[in-house]
Amino acid sequence: MIAQQFKKYLFTLVFSLVSTLIFSNTASLEKVAQHEEIEGHSSTSHEGAVESRSEIDAYSKHHLADSHDFHLFSYGTEPRHHVGFSLPVIVWTSKGLRTFLSSKFHHNDDGTHVVDVNGVKLAKYHSKIYELESGVASVVLDAEHHPVAAHKVLDFSITKSVLGMLVASLLMLLGFSSLARGYKKGAIPTGFGRVLEPLVIYVRDEIARPNIGEKKYRKYMGFLLTVFFFIWILNLLGLTPFGFNVTGNIAVTVCLALFTFLITTFTASKDYWKHIFWMPGVPVPMKIVLMPIEILGMFTKPFSLLIRLFANITAGHAVVMGLIAVTYTAREALGVPGSFGVSFLLTLFISLIELLVAFLQAFIFTMLSSLFIGMAVEEHDHH
Amino acid sequence: MNLLHDFSPGLFIIQAIILLVLIVLMRKFAWKPILDSLNSREEGIKEALDAAENAKKELQNLNAENERILNEARAERDTMLKEAREMKSTMISSAKEEAQAEADKVIRQAQEAIVAEKKSAIVDLKNQVAGISLEIAEKVMKTELADKNKQLALVSTMLKDVTLN
């Protein structure tokens, strides 16, 4: 039993190390990307074929950001043909709600194409929609590449990420409600339910029960199961060629971690608060010192959740794209077959690891959430 | 990478709504029925196992009980046989004794009867011998008194006639 536990932790440790390494690689890659971008910014537009180093970095960065249209691929020389579909844009501007299709932007992402919707001038720059102040023709950037004379609008658009979430939600609802219905026919599920049932049991017996405790775990199963499968499916969707990057989006992970934070805070036992504000069993000066540390701990715990998920998935995507780009960047050194071969093998290898990371990150998020909930609802009967 | 710049409040709000609705829907339509069925199934399995265990124990008890009853019956049979054997031997011996006693009695009575008969026969014989002797003596006396030859003849004739019964 202990050996098994140890193995589990070793496993987790090794993979967090691997993912940390990947992330630090990406961090340097990002630095290079930003550097290059500053140099060659004016030439960066996502209209043409992507071949040079700076174009690849810009493309990669563009992919990591959310997108207002669902772009599958482009082909041909100028003008390029884009295959994909537009998504609805819903924005809350200074003059109220405006809705239109993202095709109005004509795939423009550098703020030069201004759309006038019922008297509101909108432009898209790096996947963000800005409302231009009156008298400004297009997005003008300051020295730090931040638009001036324009402000961001509250963007409720059905972006690619939102679409991804809706797809994941739909898949979950269909899959698990069919499993639930299957139980009416017999105690043993049939078909795909046979795959889903062990996963549900896994979350219940390996994640929720040991961390929260036999008595209280049931109340949190709804959240934990939903979050586990939601993150996992979105992580997996991110590995498909559709190129979703939902769990690598900071807003999404903030929201997920916020749910954990709210649940821990609002269902916490008296003992939890006592341990935070007036730690029992230590001298009074120590209690005073511990209080701010514990209060900080309340926030760092969910913060670590949101950063971990975001960083792992973003790093994974960046590495996969970087390795695919080896096809172009190493073409001169290795020739076309050589660079393609190297790129293919490396990408295949990393994709397999990403497949594991997709599960692992969902597991870790759920695991730590249940651990935090468990710590919050724990009753200390020895005091 | 500027995380704060990348943070989209609109996406955050939509995500919160989607997640909240998803949790509510999944709880109602999936997790609750799934977990309930899993629980009831696991409880069912546990109960079935317990019942099987109990049945096994009961069977063992029953077997032990049967064994005990069998042993008791065997012991009872043995005692009964023993008693019967004893009874048989006592009966036989008592019958033997009774028969012996009866036989003894019959023999004794017979002996007594024989002795009595013998006595009476001897008495009778004595009487007859005495009578005959008297007759002889009478006749002898008579003839002797008449003729000596005749007397002798008479005696011999008489002696020829006399047959000892």
Q: Which of A155, A174, A262 to mutate to test the interface with B (most CBs of B within 10 A)?
A: A155
Contacts of B12 in chain A (CB under 8 A): 251-252, 254-255
Nearest CA-CA partner of B29 in A349, A169, A277: A169
**Quick one: A236 and A113 in the same domain?**
no
At position A277, the amino acid (one-letter code) is F
**Quick one: A197 and A149 in the same domain?**
no
**Quick one: A132 and A225 in the same domain?**
no
Which positions 35-94 of B are in contact with A (Cβ < 8 Å)? 35, 37-38, 41, 44
**Quick one: A148 and A172 in the same domain?**
no
**Quick one: A118 and A73 in the same domain?**
no
**Quick one: A110 and A70 in the same domain?**
no
**Quick one: A362 and A257 in the same domain?**
yes
Q: Can you give the residue range of the structural domain that contains A124?
A: 88-157
Contact A251 B31 (CB under 8 A): no
Q: Does the pLDDT value for residue A9 go beyond 80? A: no
Contact A258 B11 (CB under 8 A): no
| DSSP E strand boundaries for chain A | 69-75, 81-86, 88-93, 96-101, 110-117, 120-125, 128-132, 140-141, 147-148, 150-152, 154-155
**Quick one: A349 and A367 in the same domain?**
yes
Cβ-proximal residues to A151 (8 Å cutoff; 6+ apart), any chain:
A130, A131, A133
**Quick one: A248 and A176 in the same domain?**
yes
CA A157/CA A161 separation, integer angstroms = 10
Contact B37 A201 (CB under 8 A): no
| Counted domains in chain A | 2
* Residue where one domain finishes, among candidates A157, A175, A191: A157
Cβ-proximal residues to B106 (8 Å cutoff; 6+ apart), any chain:
none
Contacts of A154 in chain B (CB under 8 A): 9-10, 13
- List pLDDT tens digits, range A266-314: 988 888 888 888 888 888 888 888 899 999 999 999 999 999 999 999 9
**Quick one: A52 and A130 in the same domain?**
no
The pLDDT of residue A45 is: 43
* Residue where one domain finishes, among candidates A110, A127, A157: A157
**Contact in structure between A75 and A81 (CB atoms under 8 Å):** yes
**Quick one: A165 and A146 in the same domain?**
no
**Quick one: A203 and A290 in the same domain?**
yes
Contact B8 A155 (CB under 8 A): yes
- List pLDDT tens digits, range A15-53: 554 444 444 444 444 443 444 333 333 333 444 566 777
Whether B22 contacts chain A with CB within 8 A: yes
Give the pairing of strands A69-75 and A88-93.
unpaired
Q: What percentage of residues in chain A have a pLDDT greater than 90?
A: 33
* Residue where one domain finishes, among candidates A157, A176, A198: A157
Contacts of A145 in chain B (CB under 8 A): none
Average pLDDT rounded to a whole number, residues A205-211:
92
**Contact in structure between A255 and B17 (CB atoms under 8 Å):** no
Contacts of B33 in chain A (CB under 8 A): 180-181, 183
